[in-house]
Structure 1
Amino acid sequence: MMATPTDLTDISIPAGFTFDSEDAYRDAVERFRRDVDSRYLRPLSEMIVEQCPTQRSTRTIAGVPVEEFVPRDADPDRVLINLHGGAFCSGAVHVSRIESAPLAHRGGFRIVSVDYRQGHEHTYPAATEDVVAVYRDPLAHYAPGQIGIYGGSAGGMLTAQVTAWLVRHGLPVPGALGIFGAGTGGAGDGDYFSAIGNGKTPPDQIISRLADGDVGYFSTAEPGDPCVDPTLAPVEFRTQFPPTLLITGTRAIDLSPALTTHRALCRAGVDAALHVFDGLGHCFYYTAATPEAQDAYETMVRFFRKNLSGGE
């Protein structure tokens, strides 16, 4: 039986497990990658790329591996950059396809999905650096307003972090952002209520502990760094974010971070839209054939078509 997104925290990592050494963290990441790939991601990605046909190709941009998804009759004036989910330690290839193929197929967008560096092999800000390096490539061919960046779970967090990095360094921000199944700004009640809603013992923090802590991907980050958590940045900083779409669910571990991020952007005057799907969990839209996932993808398509300039 195929696992669902809300089952991922149960795979090979016992409740209460702590990563008290680099060896323990490395072993946990390797188990997580192996079991999630075999039980969930590989079969799901194979099904989705068959249901959502696009022309796929791999190459490197500025030394960073990417996979491109080009649908038939692709929009020549808009391009999206996908940042895959995976707790900042997994998700390359399969999550990239799960997140990219449906949106490329439905929206007619050319999508470049970034295989960015992550834990256990690397630490912050490696992923941000890779995405910024890739982002510079379409900037040579498109106006910033024609480029969108989006991602799910860790990729949604990374979308916000990359944008904050661009603001800090005075580079043009993309025309629109999609932060899906994610947010920044802490867990709030989401860790507890999502666990109860999904039949688990609260709090549900395994995925976050794969990235945080003394040996995780963010172990080298400075507390309060707005390029890690943009909700902590001054209003003058946040106001430079472009229109942003956030998607979450009432049973999602990311509900509280998504709410916090939405409020932080709205307080700064950013055009931020929040869609909360009732009764659904973390990255529910990964099961792309369900009516709720199709609704979410239609929302994404409308958002990017409206907010990316399309060469106008």
Structure 2
Amino acid sequence: MSDRAPLRLGTRASALATTQSGQVAARITELTGVEVQLVTVSTEGDRNQAPLTQIGGTGVFVAALREAVLEGRVDLAVHSLKDLPTTPDPALTLAAVTSREDPRDVLVARDGLTLGELPPGSRVGTGSPRRAAQLNALGLGVEIVPVRGNVDTRIGKVTSGELDGVVLARAGLLRLGREDEATEVLDPIQVLPAPGQGALACECRADDAETATILAVLDDPDTRAAVTAERSLLSALEAGCSAPVGALADVVWGDDGDELWLRAVVGDPSGSPTIRLSASGPLSEPAAVGERLAAEMLAEGASELMADTPSGTSIGPTS
């Protein structure tokens, strides 16, 4: 172990958040020998179960954590990257983006059913307009029901019979060791994930060079490039994390070596219309790839679709 003082890692108190943060803490200690202590921080998104667009939308799960870092109550915070606002805070630095877990969404449904096997009229829960738009676009005749809460709460609505299924992020189930509860992994061709889904962000104060250096060992360059492209698209669309926008960038082999392939969707929560486009570009220029694809989507009318999103629909925490 290092002889320096332990790092204080700020985390939300949910089972998923503490599991994610605990995995990051263990990895820091493994690679650097520095001890890490978890410090739980209550956020507005945890305390208030109202739709997120009513309580602030973007950032409600990270604002309190960032405040704790800036005030020196903790040395770093771990966020689900999809919850992190795209507008940077100059007083903070994104010191590491960890290797991405599976970014895809999954269905947890009664009787082991898949989406295609659910009969018309089945009630499928999600608090995400992104998911609602893409599920409705499939034309399966299921009813999308707004739902919030942690993984246990959401899956419990299926086991109790209140819902026929819920859609969650596979990354959360994998980190909790509950991936076997998913009845279907949704192909991104059908449902694109949220920008940054499956990746974790490690933030510290911009003037804390020592902590930033320690965290840098966790940074995964390919993951950082992929999520930079996705988040640049989100920023250029001027869309918050509760907008009906899905995006996924993959590192693929191109004519001149590795490049980024970015797919994105903007949809009306009703399922129609939907704009779905893709672009590719150099791995070394991820932000430019995202900005270029966003410009193409805006030219197709993406702003109007996002403006029509009902105010009562919003995302929940990574799950």
Fold shared per TM-score above 0.5: no
Larger Rg: 2
Bigger helix fraction: 1
Bigger strand fraction: 2
The TM-score normalised by the length of structure 2 is 0.29
